[in-house]
Amino acid sequence: MAARRVDWSFGPGHGPVSGALNAAGSTLAATMVADLSSVAPVWGATAGAFASAGAVIAAARQDAPGAALAYRALCWMGAGVWSTWALATATVERFSGPWSTTSLAALAVGTLGAAYAGQAFQRAEQRAEDARQAQVDAVRAQLAAEEDARAMASEHDRIAVEWQRELRKQTRREITVVGVEFWNPNTGFTLDVQLPADGTTMEDIKPHEKNLAHAMDVPLGCAVEVIDPHVSRRVVHIRVGTVDALSEDHHLPEGCEPDSIENPISMGIRSDRTEATNDIRYNCMVLIGQTDSGKSNQLNVATRQVVRCTDALAWAIDLTGQARYPRPWVRAWAEGRAVAPALDWVAPNAHEARLLTMAALALVNYRTADYEQLMFENGWDKIMVAPELPEVVIFVDEFGSLPDDVKENLRQISDTGRGAGVRVVSCALEANATYIPRAMINQSRERVGMRVQDEAQLQYLFDTTWKSGRIDTSTLKVKGSGMWSTDASRPEKFKGWRIEPQRIDAESIAVGPLRPELDEASVQRCEVLTVEGRSPEGYKVKSEVTDVYSGRWDRTLPLIFPAKKGGAGKVSVGGAKAGQAEVARGSATVVAQRNEPTEPVKPLGEAMADLQAGLQRMRDVEPLPDPGPAESELPPLPALPADADFSVVESWLSPGTPATDASGQRKPHPRRRMRQLVWDAADTGVGPTSVRETLNNEGYETTQQTVNGWMKEDAAAGILRQERNRAPYTPGPQMVNPYEQDQD
């Protein structure tokens, strides 16, 4: 309790100064009255003595210190002495005694001295009181801290005892809880658990997570997670959430400072609010998530973390929605609001994806050879990336929608691209063989699985050997939550950062000055590529494509930002004209130009009828009997267009397939020949195996898969008929004589 404040005034409601003035005024008035009444001077001293004694007694009752007693006694004694002196010096003359200037001056000096002394005593007393209060507060704080420590220790002990008892009950093993650490903020705690020396491992504790959460009544949305702290084989940590931190939206931290791909990229937070990071400098990453799980947002987060690196370039593949995922990252540049595109290359269709992956394979195959001397001089066994020699990170959205040859290219890059500084981040809607092959997952040590309905998908992604119930998918009901693993560690729950479209646009502008350029040696490797196509007869041919890297935006920008209805314009490359918005990028100029429609758009029904009529006219055309010049006499093929369709590679014939038979007659297309064989078999029917053997005997180099695909397609179109699965094929209602009319 604080000490009582000392009253340094001369009456209630006054301070040292006003009290002294009030007392002086009272003394002056009393003395003047005594002078007019011819009172003896001795009464002034007597009144001062009584006043002094009364003040001392009153102060003593208030437990005032000795300084206060002395101060009041001296003040009243001084007033009595002045009054006696003034009365003694009074004469019959005017302005003598208390009326004289000397008396008034003496009283004023004494009053000022008393007021000053009172203020000094009051300040000293305030300092003393503050010091006493500080000591009291310190003692109180120490007592409160000790009380909290005792309560915390008691809470630690209580939690440790309760969880140890339940752990031993559930697992039937002598587990010891040696410590409890509360999270900051207090949304849960971590148990430090010591395993017995009887061979018990973390895998023996992990399956009991759900039962422990139920038995200990963990709040809904929270979970019990058994994790490996990498401290000792006999030490595990158990995370217990008491507040569902993953139910909240956690926005990506502000700021777009330059970074390096050598540092792990932050993907979100774990249940204890520590960051969940992935290292894609040397590792590939797989990201899966069903619709409305937050997968696309997480892909944008990973993209943002890479594009702000000054030693990495991001290439993107997305064949859906005219590059729906990468479009926001290059919109600002296409509109002239950014100095450079955030993404270095975007593939919006199968042909461009093929070129992009082939260019990446060229880097994988030749980059280390191109920099062999540099690697030798520095003692490197792999490319050490830098702004002058950046890493290439390929982001793939909807992996399952890619053509088979592009998937194969990505698999090869994933297998062999580590030393050349080329890595792949693959995204898919589901974790199964249909959407993403097992080979891609095996080579990806960084894995993120957003919320899914079926636990088997998480098993496919993280570990196919675990038992059912290892992960409680009921705790992953919030959009943006999922399981996360880095460097092949055991998966843990996490909540991904949230990045909004406006943030993507702003950061696509901010990272423009940070973006490195692909090194010259790598550019040369990407400029000229050889791709496979097919001739009008269906044979495999090879063609050389030039300006692959330097002309990437010329090919892709018109596809990413096509002309809009009402004359919004198309994106083209060329010189700038009046009224055109121009954006410079290196030696290319991207121009947004208005185009007015030249003819009205036909109704859908009429357009479909025209399309069917055109297809029928193409079927009715008979091939020319002249086989044409030999392949060696053919002129070089031009570069393939950007929208060329290579999605049916498996149906091509090999270059060795002859165009004529032994007698010199032109041979029919193998698919037409297949229909002839079915026509000859009539109602008896024939199967794909027999057809393939006949075609191979006649010199057609086809595969069982190709023939089977042809026959299934014709059966679906009514050209062939198959009564039941695995039954032979017979002529269908739509089939005409293949010897008389080409149906291809």
- Measured distance CA(138)–CA(130) in Å, rounded: 12
Helix axes 704-717, 688-697, angle to 10 degrees: 120
Residue range 556-586, pLDDT digits in tens = 999 999 864 433 333 433 333 333 333 333 3
In 341-472, beta strands by DSSP E: 345-347, 391-396, 422-428, 446-450
Q: Could you tell me what percent of the chain has a pLDDT over 90?
A: 30
Q: Closest by alpha carbon to 342, among 363, 356, 328, 362?
A: 328
Helical H segments across 454-519, by residue range: 455-462, 501-510
Same domain, 130 and 179: no
Give me the pLDDT at residue 597, please: 38
Domain for residue 545, yes or no?
no
Indicate the residue among 90, 123, 139 that finishes a domain.
Answer: 139
Which residues 6+ apart lie within 8 Å of 96 measured at CB? 89, 90
Give me the pLDDT at residue 1, please: 40
Residue range 200-241, pLDDT digits in tens = 998 889 888 888 988 998 887 788 889 888 888 899 999 998
To the nearest whole number, what is the mean pLDDT of the chain?
A: 78
Give me the pLDDT at residue 709, please: 86
Q: Where is average pLDDT lowest: 543-557, 579-593, 602-616?
A: 579-593
Same domain, 229 and 297: no
Give me the pLDDT at residue 151, please: 58
Beta strands 188-194 and 176-182, pairing class: antiparallel
Domain for residue 435, yes or no?
yes
Residue range 107-144, pLDDT digits in tens = 777 777 766 666 676 676 777 778 888 888 888 888 77
Same domain, 216 and 345: no
Q: Where is average pLDDT lowest: 25-39, 237-251, 563-577?
A: 563-577
Which residues 6+ apart lie within 8 Å of 424 measured at CB? 284, 285, 393, 394, 396, 410, 413, 414, 417, 440, 444
Q: Is the pLDDT of residue 466 over 80?
A: no
Q: Is the pLDDT of residue 633 over 50?
A: no
Same domain, 194 and 317: no
In 464-608, beta strands by DSSP E: 481-485, 492-496, 529-534, 540-545, 570-573, 581-585, 588-593
Residue range 352-395, pLDDT digits in tens = 999 999 999 999 999 999 999 999 998 888 889 999 999 999 99
Query: CA separation (Å) from 151 to 139, 146, 155?
Result: 18, 8, 6
DSSP H or E stretch at residue 235: strand 235-241
Provide the pLDDT confidence category of residue 629 given band limits of 50, 70 and 90.
very low
Look at residue 1 and give its three-state secondary structure: coil
Indicate the residue among 552, 580, 597 that finishes a domain.
Answer: 597
Domain for residue 648, yes or no?
no
Residue range 161-204, pLDDT digits in tens = 889 889 999 999 999 998 888 887 778 899 999 999 988 998 88
Give me the pLDDT at residue 141, please: 82
Residue 703 backbone phi and psi in degrees, to 5: -110, 160
Domain for residue 725, yes or no?
yes
Query: CA separation (Å) from 66 to 17, 63, 114?
Result: 20, 9, 16
- In total, how many domains does the chain have? 5
Q: Could you tell me what percent of the chain has a pLDDT over 70?
A: 71
Give me the pLDDT at residue 81, please: 74
Which residues 6+ apart lie within 8 Å of 567 measured at CB? 594, 595, 596, 597
Same domain, 682 and 735: yes
Domain for residue 46, yes or no?
yes
- Measured distance CA(352)–CA(329) in Å, rounded: 18
What is the span of the domain harbouring residue 569?
562-597
For the chain, what's the residue count?
Answer: 744
Task: Kindly state the DSSP code that residue 672 receives in the 8-state scheme.
Answer: H
CATH of the domain at 686: 1.10.10.10
Give me the pLDDT at residue 196, please: 92
In 527-626, beta strands by DSSP E: 529-534, 540-545, 570-573, 581-585, 588-593
Domain for residue 361, yes or no?
yes
Task: Tell me if 496 sits within 8 A of 480, measured CB to CB.
Answer: yes
Give me the pLDDT at residue 415, please: 92
Provide the pLDDT confidence category of residue 287 given band limits of 50, 70 and 90.
very high
Same domain, 443 and 366: yes
Helix axes 688-697, 670-681, angle to 10 degrees: 120
Task: Tell me if 682 sits within 8 A of 389, measured CB to CB.
Answer: no
Tell me which amino acid residue 418 is.
R
- Measured distance CA(143)–CA(151) in Å, rounded: 12
Indicate the residue among 187, 221, 243 that finishes a domain.
Answer: 243
Domain for residue 602, yes or no?
no
Provide the pLDDT confidence category of residue 73 given band limits of 50, 70 and 90.
low
| Rounded average pLDDT over 506-511 | 93
Q: Is the pLDDT of residue 744 over 50?
A: no
Residue 495 backbone phi and psi in degrees, to 5: -125, 125
CATH of the domain at 186: 3.30.980.40
Same domain, 228 and 301: no
Give me the pLDDT at residue 365, please: 92
